[in-house]
Amino acid sequence: MPKDLRTFLRQVQEMLPDDYVRVEREVDPEFELTGVLRKLQDQNRFPAVLFENVKGTKLPVMGNLLGSRRRLALAFDSDDAGLTAEYVRRQERTLDPVMIDDAPVHDVVITGEDVNLNYIPNIVHCEGDAGPYISSGMCIAKDVETGVRNMGIYRIQIAGPRKLRYYPGEYSHMEHLRKKREERDEPLEVAIVIGHHPGVYMASQYRGPMGVDELAVAGGLLGEPLRMTKCKTIDVEVPADAEIVIEGHALPHVKELEGPFGEFTWYLGPAEMNPVIEVTAITHRRDAIYQDMFNAHPEHNITGLIGREAGLYRAVRNVVPALKALTLPFSGCCRHAVYISIKKLYDGVAKNCALAALAADPFLKLAIVVDEDIDVFDETQVMWAVATRVQADRDVFVIPDAYVCELDPSAYDVADRSKRGYLNAKWSIDATKPVGIPFQEKSDVPEAAWKHINLDDYIVTGPRRVIEELAARR
Ligand code: MN
């Protein structure tokens, strides 16, 4: 059985039964669906939620599937801490897709005048969003010169019965492909894939060079070649076991105001003049599940997290082989900050390590480097190292005017710092102990004296004795 959304949902139900819940009653796609997810978040709960009955559509909605690191780890047969290293191992052995003819995603094919985007759930997620958005669409397009595919997730606004607007960002591979076509006055054919195994979603977040086919990365991540099939109205191939595919043309020389939309920064990303897609087909599996992604909330951050961690892991390990672990913490939106632990063998290496990280990922603003005794997944420990191992005059450096990301609300324009732009200062904190000079030892009870203790042998339960009674016994 090829891996897909359904095989993963079964795996979740079996291995993490509390991670999968259902909503039977009808929900409004405007704020009520995300309202349920928000209420769960308020209780610190992040289960995958199947909304069986969504107003205005026949399709059920799977919400928040990628909203937990533990569930992603399950998709990679790993655990929280081992996930990034496992992802790196798998992404390094890519597997080319195999083509098939009778694809489940073509059970139902709607083309031409019959296409109406009202058919799919029109979900309005957050206050201030410019209407309904497809938040979980993996866009696939091909390079007109090389034929190499690219896959990435972009925010997609539903703007009419057959019209979409999307935000590729100025420097994405997808925008590069569109501009190449535009130079020839041609549209870019785009397929939007909704609903698949998390391995495919993670492949869309692969941080690698332009010439790498993210669908071959998906094969590596899944551990089996991805089954693909030809689209019905465009010359693009899509995963055959996806739930839903929308086919269309990104028009040359056409831009419209798109946005605002809640972003991974947890701020409302401003409106922009962005490309327009004319939809030519909707295809789906007979009993398709529409997968949604909760923008401006943890699922949004986690979806982009593992691919970025893996990219950084590789880049830093090339420079500092004694890399122990790294993570992009929630407090940094899983994008703007990284905590790196190393086995420090010589002085100065932590700064090289920070430079490697800051250079490798344009979204990254802050790199904090700690010793191997600090658990990077425990923010309290990281901040303890910052509090006790750092002198800011020597251990902090700042690189002004670097390119980061225009979605960071503090980013500025080169000509006018009060204006929005792409520039940011990058900075680093070296929170490692020196190697060449003595440093105080940590203070604690020796592990041999407490690790083995069974508290039931020591702590008395049962009726409480008053202080006077205890005194009388002495
Ligand atoms: Mn790419």
pLDDT of residue 126: 98
CA distance 59 to 52: 8
Tell me the torsion sign for CA atoms 264, 68, 304, 278: negative
Interval between CA 180 and ligand 1 midpoint (Å): 15
Query: Is 210 within 8 Å of 224 (Cβ atoms)?
Result: no
pLDDT given for residue 422 in this prediction: 87
Q: How far is the CA of 214 from the centre of ligand 1 (A)?
A: 6
CA distance 286 to 445: 62
pLDDT of residue 468: 78
Q: What is the pLDDT of residue 40?
A: 98
Whole-angstrom Cα distance, residue 372 to residue 344?
8
Helix (H, G, I), strand (E, B) or coil at 336: coil
Residue 134 CA from chain centroid, whole number: 16
66 alpha carbon – ligand 1 mean position (Å): 21
Ligand 1 centre to CA of 144 (Å) is 14
At residue 406, the pLDDT reads: 83
Domain residue extents for the chain: 5-302, 304-431
Given CA atoms 143, 149, 155, 161 in this order, what sign does their dihedral have? positive
| Amino acid present at 184 | R
| Ramachandran region, residue 399 (left: φ > 0; alpha: ψ -120 to 50; beta: rest) | beta
Q: What is the pLDDT of residue 193?
A: 98
Closest residue by Cα to residue 20 from 384, 401, 267, 289: 289
Q: Are strands 227-230 and 98-99 parallel, antiparallel or unpaired?
A: parallel
Q: What residue has token string 């339960």? A: 461
* 217 vs 25: CA distance, rounded Å: 39
Q: What is the pLDDT of residue 224?
A: 97
Rounded distance from Cα 429 to ligand 1 centre (Å) = 31
Q: What is the pLDDT of residue 467?
A: 78
For residue 81, the model assigns a pLDDT of 80
Residues in the chain predicted with pLDDT less than 50, given as ranges, are none
Using alpha carbons only, give the angle 31, 33, 35 rounded to the nearest 5 degrees. Answer: 60
CA of 304 to the centre of ligand 1 (A): 13
Ligand 1 centroid to residue 345 C-alpha, Å: 35
| pLDDT given for residue 171 in this prediction | 80
Neighbours of 170 (CB within 10 A): 10
Is beta strand 423-430 parallel, antiparallel or unpaired with respect to 290-291?
Answer: unpaired
Please tell me the distance between residue 205's alpha carbon and the centre of ligand 1 in angstroms. Answer: 8
- Residue-level pLDDT at 235: 98
Containing H/E element for 325? Answer: strand 323-327
Q: Could you tell me the CATH superfamily of domain 304-431?
A: UbiD C-terminal domain-like (3.40.1670.10)
* CA neighbor of 328 nearest in space, from 319, 337, 320: 337
Beta strands 366-371 and 337-342: pairing type?
parallel
**What does the pLDDT read at residue 206?**
86
CATH class of 5-302: mainly beta
Q: How far is the CA of 19 from the centre of ligand 1 (A)?
A: 31
